[in-house]
Structure 1
């Protein structure tokens, strides 16, 4: 990102947006009209003044040389990160160079950039040397806390097993009459037992009754998976180490990224956010060009605020990643970064639709609670499955050289990203990265046939 001669695409900029509203608002500010004194430096800084509703323009500055992705500061009152002004300025910078000429940063921008880089350097010095290493906590106290939490989780899992037994003895029809309140009460008790993973699955289970045709079968399936997770925890000492770590993770116990660091050139495959009333979770999928590994970075932000880590889709950077413990675990922690993200011709190797389904099946052997698995489809064509004239037609990704296809996840059939994928294809084969699961395939990023930049779909 310090290479100012290399410009991002608009898609890569908009992939940083925390939500669709910010993406739309930022696009409107991507022209020279509202901006004045915009400029950039060889050291990776971009700044500008954006006219707003008040008498004073908003001061917006971006540090493109940050190792974890662009860092933003704006004087506007928005709580979104990045705000629409930062997105607009990046879009302006991504256009013609004359719109954001090279120059000397004004004092208000230069002071912020210099200050944050000094703090980053000091932090690296502190954490890198022995003198800056924090003293470990009392290991005996930590062991006692872990034991107490394990006892509470065991009590909660035992209570949940009794709840499932009562449900099946009374018949699934009783779940429809009981309503959601009883399940919410059970979920609250799992929270008290410090088992947030169990609580989340109980809430999902409670929403199934009366959710549409076939709900009894779906309820029975979820009860079976929840029972399997309960039993996995209650018999965790008998499980192989990898599967035991997976069970702990699914229960809600945080693990550690203690795997051997892998240094590689990592391509940013996709980035998207999910949110609830308390937390925003950002998922970033990476592909190692040399190792061939697929890795997942998770970043969190308080409700209403986007997580801080942001990596533009389609760019690649050299870094070390350390894997978390667990059978088939793809989650990793980002370690030292050696180069900033930059445009690349790297593309992940794709597979056919049957191979994608087989990979998901293999992943289920080590993690039965896995909803989906990351995979890249090569040479597929998005096509309607049925009448394209209906309001929300069913879609599928069909192999260009065969007669097999994967259905697109039902929830995505009417979203703009699906139509964007269809427009990118135009009836020709494309390469698509996404998540293959029991509900279908969720496309996240696509590449046109031949050469071309990655196009985010989420």
Structure 2
């Protein structure tokens, strides 16, 4: 039996604020002609504005949603309302109605077909917890330098990138020679555009964030550090053939060379029970990006699952913050691999396994690190990839304050985490955070009873 989600976890699934409000309006037993739950399926029939009621079903393993209403939002208000009823007082355990059983059967059939295709294509790509990753060769990560038309095209791009990065190196030397007081955001914007034209979008992204440094406390030292990271990337790209293979892959990706998704999935996978610590949405150029942070219970590995959605569509909602999933992740190659793709889910999924239930019993609170252990982990990650700008951590036994936690400051863009402070009440708690060079961002925390609180 999957542990019931909290109200915060359910509302975190909503694609927007209006859906959250509408979902709470539907979360009334009087609106539902039928509602029930099995081991991992929540279902119900809701009265709507039309003559026919709406059939609503949620597979908690993914989660995945079904609703016969005309809404294009995923999940819709009926799904949210049904989940809110389940998270509150629970739902009766009754057999699946035929329409829900048909949908579940179709999902099982598709999942079995996908698993068969993956097994046929990846061979023995799965590794057990703690095993080493196997990643593609440097040519695969850098686009390839082999013969043939693809190799010629990629070599031409590499030459164009090299010219763009040489221009960047001269620009950086001029900036340091003139002094930081002459820094002009308009120059940074033009530099970013030139790097995009040189087909180095990764370097352009690093240059594009320079403008956010100005105006902050201690901005001269921070700006100089950003210049140093850009110069390091330029030199590393020029000398990539001399670097260890993993570091060379990291450099190529930081410059902007992408790794094909199929290449990542063809590599080794790491199976673990992954705690979903939190997620953050941000708007990029004409797309919405969702960053989901996870940590493995056995491996202790950090993972970032990054998904994108076009305008008007909800981002991927398959990871519910505060839950744990038994899954295989395939990591992008690199010296400090953190970005990953969900390769396969195992059952039971979508929540913590409860003490006394069949299968493995897990503590409600994930394994955590002392502040010293957390800083050592971040230092190790930066040693492999100096351009890392965020990393998920779970801190144990810390007392949060308005300006800091465990001696580490909060990110200046974050409001004072009053909810976390109230949860703590001046006592040590376990809290999940996102480390960044500018400070920590709170993700989630656990109270004295082991219940998760999303921040």
The verdict on a shared fold, with TM-score over 0.5 as the criterion, is yes
SS of residue matched to 1:383: coil
Aligned to 1:455: 453
User: What is the Cα deviation at residue 23 of structure 1?
Assistant: 3.8
Aligned to 2:94: 102
| Distance in 2 of aligned mates of 1:125 and 1:377 | 39
User: What is the Cα deviation at residue 250 of structure 1?
Assistant: 1.4
Instruction: Choose the corresponding residue for 2:370, options 349, 352, 357.
Output: 352
User: What is the Cα deviation at residue 121 of structure 1?
Assistant: 3.7
| 1:11-50 correspondence runs (5 A) | 11-19=8-16, 22-41=19-38, 44-49=41-46
| 1:172-211 correspondence runs (5 A) | 172-176=180-184, 179-180=185-186, 182-209=187-214, 211=215
Higher relative contact order, chain-length normalized (CA < 8 Å, sep 6+) = 2
Instruction: Choose the corresponding residue for 1:310, options 282, 306, 318.
Output: 318
Aligned to 2:445: 446
Aligned to 2:434: 435
Higher alpha-carbon deviation: 353-362 or 82-91: 353-362
The count of corresponding residues between Structure 1 and Structure 2 is 420
| Distance in 1 of aligned mates of 2:428 and 2:401 | 11
**Is it true that 1:224 corresponds to 2:228 in the alignment?**
yes
Per-residue CA distance 1:120-149 (angstroms, 9 max, x = gap): 44444444447xxxxxxx983433333232
| Distance in 2 of aligned mates of 1:212 and 1:29 | 44
User: What is the Cα deviation at residue 432 of structure 1?
Assistant: 0.8
| Distance in 2 of aligned mates of 1:40 and 1:225 | 53
SS of residue matched to 2:280: strand
Aligned to 2:399: 381
Going from structure 1 to structure 2, the CA distance change for 1:314 and 1:352 (only over 3 Å counts) comes to same
Instruction: Choose the corresponding residue for 1:320, options 307, 310, 328.
Output: 328
Going from structure 1 to structure 2, the CA distance change for 1:55 and 1:226 (only over 3 Å counts) comes to farther
| Distance in 2 of aligned mates of 1:283 and 1:139 | 37
Aligned to 1:133: none
| Distance in 2 of aligned mates of 1:252 and 1:26 | 41
Contact 1:300 1:306 (C-alpha < 8 Å) held by counterparts:
no
Higher alpha-carbon deviation: 56-65 or 261-270: 56-65
Going from structure 1 to structure 2, the CA distance change for 1:314 and 1:110 (only over 3 Å counts) comes to same
Aligned to 2:139: none
Contact 1:429 1:448 (C-alpha < 8 Å) held by counterparts:
no
User: What is the Cα deviation at residue 379 of structure 1?
Assistant: 0.9
| Distance in 2 of aligned mates of 1:438 and 1:117 | 44
SS of residue matched to 1:433: strand
| Distance in 2 of aligned mates of 1:55 and 1:20 | 28
User: What is the Cα deviation at residue 446 of structure 1?
Assistant: 0.8
Going from structure 1 to structure 2, the CA distance change for 1:77 and 1:194 (only over 3 Å counts) comes to farther
| Distance in 1 of aligned mates of 2:52 and 2:171 | 61
Per-residue CA distance 1:225-268 (angstroms, 9 max, x = gap): 11211221122112222221221221122235365322222222
RMSD of aligned C-alpha atoms?
A: 3.2
| Distance in 2 of aligned mates of 1:12 and 1:433 | 15
Aligned to 1:279: 287
| Distance in 1 of aligned mates of 2:423 and 2:290 | 25
User: What is the Cα deviation at residue 213 of structure 1?
Assistant: 5.4
Contact 2:46 2:78 (C-alpha < 8 Å) held by counterparts:
no
Going from structure 1 to structure 2, the CA distance change for 1:362 and 1:75 (only over 3 Å counts) comes to same
Going from structure 1 to structure 2, the CA distance change for 1:129 and 1:217 (only over 3 Å counts) comes to closer
User: What is the Cα deviation at residue 79 of structure 1?
Assistant: 4.7
Aligned to 1:93: 86
**Is it true that 1:338 corresponds to 2:342 in the alignment?**
no
| Distance in 2 of aligned mates of 1:14 and 1:49 | 19
**Is it true that 1:62 corresponds to 2:58 in the alignment?**
yes
Going from structure 1 to structure 2, the CA distance change for 1:233 and 1:329 (only over 3 Å counts) comes to same
Per-residue CA distance 1:20-59 (angstroms, 9 max, x = gap): 554454334333254444444567252332546x777655
Contact 1:152 1:194 (C-alpha < 8 Å) held by counterparts:
yes
Aligned to 2:246: 242
User: What is the Cα deviation at residue 194 of structure 1?
Assistant: 2.3
User: What is the Cα deviation at residue 341 of structure 1?
Assistant: 2.4
Q: TM-score, normalised by structure 2?
A: 0.80
Aligned to 2:64: 71
Going from structure 1 to structure 2, the CA distance change for 1:104 and 1:332 (only over 3 Å counts) comes to closer
Aligned to 2:413: 411
Contact 1:268 1:316 (C-alpha < 8 Å) held by counterparts:
yes
**Is it true that 1:143 corresponds to 2:151 in the alignment?**
yes
| Distance in 1 of aligned mates of 2:113 and 2:377 | 44
